[in-house]
Amino acid sequence: MLTPGNPDELLENLNPQQRAAVLHRGPALLIVAGAGSGKTRVLTHRIAHLLATKELWPSQVLAITFTNKAANEMKLRVEELLGQVSEGMWIRTFHSACLQILRREAERLGHSSSFTVYDTGDSRALLRRLLREAGADDGDVKPQAAASVISNAKNELKDAEDFARNIDRSNPRERIIADVYSAYQAELLRNNAFDFDDLIVETVNLFRAFPEVRARYQKKFRHVLIDEYQDTNHAQYALIRELTKPLPKEHAIFDEKTGEQLSPADLTVVGDSDQSIYAFRGADIRNITEFERDFVGAATILLEQNYRSTQNILSGANAVIAQNPYRPQKNLWTDSGSGDPITLFTAFDERNEAAFVVDAIKTAHEEGTNYRDMAVLYRTNALTISLENELKAQRIPYVVVGGLKFFERKEIKDALSYLAAIANVSDDEAIRRIINTPARGIGEKTEAKIAQFARKNELSLRQALLKAGELALGPKITAAVEQFGKLLNELDAMSATEGPADVLKQALIRSGYRTELEHSRDPQDEARIENLDALLGQLYDWQKDFPQGTVVDYLSEVTLASAQDELEDESGNLSLMTLHTAKGLEYDFVFIIGCEQGTLPHIRAFDEPGGLQEERRLMYVGMTRARKKLHLSHALQRTIFGNTSNFLPSSFLSDIPADLIEQQGQQRSVSATPVRKWQGTLTTTSIRDNKDLQLAVGDRISHESFGEGSVVAVSGDGPKQVAEVRFDGGLTKRLLTKMAPITKL
């Protein structure tokens, strides 16, 4: 811990660039932190230095991260440096910080402070119902697709009216989504609920509509720090601007001691444009590349020394990312030595690739590396089937990170819906989920009658339950409905004096939910009971840590959980995950499989502006997860979803200097499913190569399987050209010109 009165201790063991970042003072600072360059150390030391020099009080610090795990790590590190003086700081995720603000200010936006936060599953369930009511079936618009479009609109700060004004009214799909977006927002308001995106969007709206509220928070937060700034979307950028831009004169804030007008909060952001890989969910790389233009007086400090990887790994990653145009020049280096070369394995097919990966994992484990210190990364989940079969056959423990998470399981969602229905009398979606769970004889027709009655009388579903006698449902169903309503009211009253864990325990018992599972013959229901017990155990632990915590508080925390937050570092399991999920993580041994053209880079990237550049950044992120050893592999042919295709190696592989690579391609029998025998290092001569063939719109071609057709669209050029062909038989296919089995007519 820091010696009282000696902030200089915080500068020890920092390199010159890190030290400059900690000491810099000014309105805006961009710290460009390359992978493994100690950005968390710099950020925490900067916070600690501002506090140690008494330039700020802890309560004046707002530090934003993207995961709860990162936020907790930052809190812990500042506490290690300063002790309890760090209490009072806001170190939170974007969503957590906005949630805290909205709990205090919700009434200004037409909500009560007990509002529910809908997670992805809740939002899709509501959209599914609204689409059905709008007369749309899954063939028109899927709930997932509607959710994605609405989420993207919100991230661009486009409300339902803005969205509707800018659609193509002649497009039925767009009209449906526009109508459902409007109905969706109306339902959220009626249910006293926000969805995940709303937490940020509505906070921005709050600050813009009520300058006096923005002034209050600007006075509170005198220094704003943002981690992973390259991953921010437009709404997050707007939030940062609202907290750091000058206030109108009538809402200016003044120093209580000197009486001088205070300038906006200082801003520090940390990020790396080379690791911007979330454009698909709205991240805007311009937020970091145009930082100095956006914030007057901004300075930039570059961190290039890497403390994670060997030089061979870094040199390989540098060579890949250097091919991206318009990026700030940066070259990661380390003084920890060259290390092992990068292994590049050429496999005949996916089974042979799996055999190689599992062999290497077993060898590393036998030589002392724990399974938890190894990870296999891939571009798409479809690549893991053969790998998982081989891991199971070799009895290697593994976990697929980002699969069905604990809080997404049915029984857990049901249990949490009981809590949501208790905490928020207006949450109709929670009631819909549990109204007949466990079975009470309340079918869809009865639910529809209750919903109709509630709307007519301006009641929530929960309020309508107690008036079932007015609905002519029949004595048995009426009794069941009223009993359910009374149970929720009794549990609600209980929550005023008892903790959330006790309330949930009683809800599961008195509702009959647990009894139904206990009497079930479905073997899966035994596991569901275990999961519910685990939930109760976790909730009792939470209750001990937060004795004043309410049901609302607990639900908020659960909703803000993320995939990385649930990753157990001490699990002892090998980790399998997508390259996107791997961001922010590191392992001694890293395997990137499926390094093929059309997979990594993904085929869609050739049609999207900036798509290839983002795929290259994704490769860079994957390579820089490795501390000691990096393995890359590609297959000459691969069977996915029943279709076997030939593949060229990823163009990214040719960017890596040959002297950094150790090439392998040896075959062995695979225990699960034997493969064709072959020997030696493989080359691409065994697959089709159309050499310099280039197609244009209107060209006629012949395909070995689909017959003759006409080229209707072309994208990319050279070996990356993709042609869209409409075949005479009616099929339309997208083909990689260089390797498709085609002949130009």
DSSP state of 370: -
User: What's the rounded Cα separation, in Å, for the pair 265 and 147?
Assistant: 35
CB 354 within 8 A of CB 389: yes
For 682, the enclosing helix (H) or strand (E) is none
Spell out the alpha helix ranges (H) of 281-349: 286-289, 291-294, 311-321
Torsion angle of the four alpha carbons 26, 28, 32, 36, in this order, in degrees rounded to the nearest 10: 80
Q: Both tokens of residue 364? A: 């590393």
Selected catalytic residue, list 625, 627, 638, 720: 625
State both tokens at 303. Answer: 């961190």
Q: What Å distances lie between residue 359 and 390, 645, 668, CA to CA? A: 10, 25, 10
Q: Which residue of the set 228, 242, 390, 614 is catalytic?
A: 228
190, 285, 376, 453, 590 from 360: Cα distances, Å: 56, 36, 11, 64, 11
> Cα(726)–Cα(745) distance, rounded to whole angstroms?
15
CA–CA separation, 488 and 433 (whole Å): 14
Instruction: Give the separation between CA 305 and CA 288, rounded to whole angstroms.
Output: 20
Q: Name every residue whose Cβ is closer than 8 Å to that of residue 701 and which is 6 or more positions away in sequence.
A: 695, 708, 709, 710, 711, 723, 725, 742, 743, 744, 745
3 state SS for 121-174: HHHHHHHHHHHHHCCCCCCCCCHHHHHHHHHHHHHCCCCHHHHHHCCCCCCHHH
Cβ atoms within 10 Å, residue 643? 7
User: Which H/E stretch holds residue 630?
Assistant: strand 626-635
User: Of 19, 39, 462, 617, which residue is the catalytic one?
Assistant: 39
Going by C-alpha positions, the residue among 440, 450, 529, 436 that lies closest to residue 479 is 440
Q: Which of 275, 559, 581, 737 is catalytic?
A: 275
- Catalytic (active site) residue 39: yes
Residue 483 CA, chain-centre distance (Å), reads 40
CB 442 within 8 A of CB 436: yes
Q: Which helix (H) or strand (E) holds 193?
A: strand 193-195
For the four alpha carbons of 568, 572, 573 and 575, in that order, the dihedral sign comes to positive
d(CA 632, CA 340): 13
CA distance 386 to 352: 9
- CA distance to 100, 472, 482, 488, per residue, from 476 (Å): 44, 11, 10, 19
CA gap 342, 340 in Å, rounded? 7
Residue with tokens 């500042």: 78
**Secondary structure letter of residue 75 according to DSSP:** H
Mark whether 227 is an active-site residue. Answer: yes
67 is catalytic: no
Helix axis angle, 234-244 relative to 196-209, nearest 10°? 30
684 is catalytic: no
From its phi and psi, is residue 394 left (phi > 0), alpha (psi between -120 and 50) or beta?
Answer: alpha
Give the active site residue among 122, 227, 304, 373: 227
Tell me how far apart the alpha carbons of residues 708 and 728 are, in angstroms, rounded to a whole number: 6
Q: Torsions phi, psi of 435, nearest 5? A: -60, -30
Which residues are marked as active site?
39-40, 227-228, 275, 625
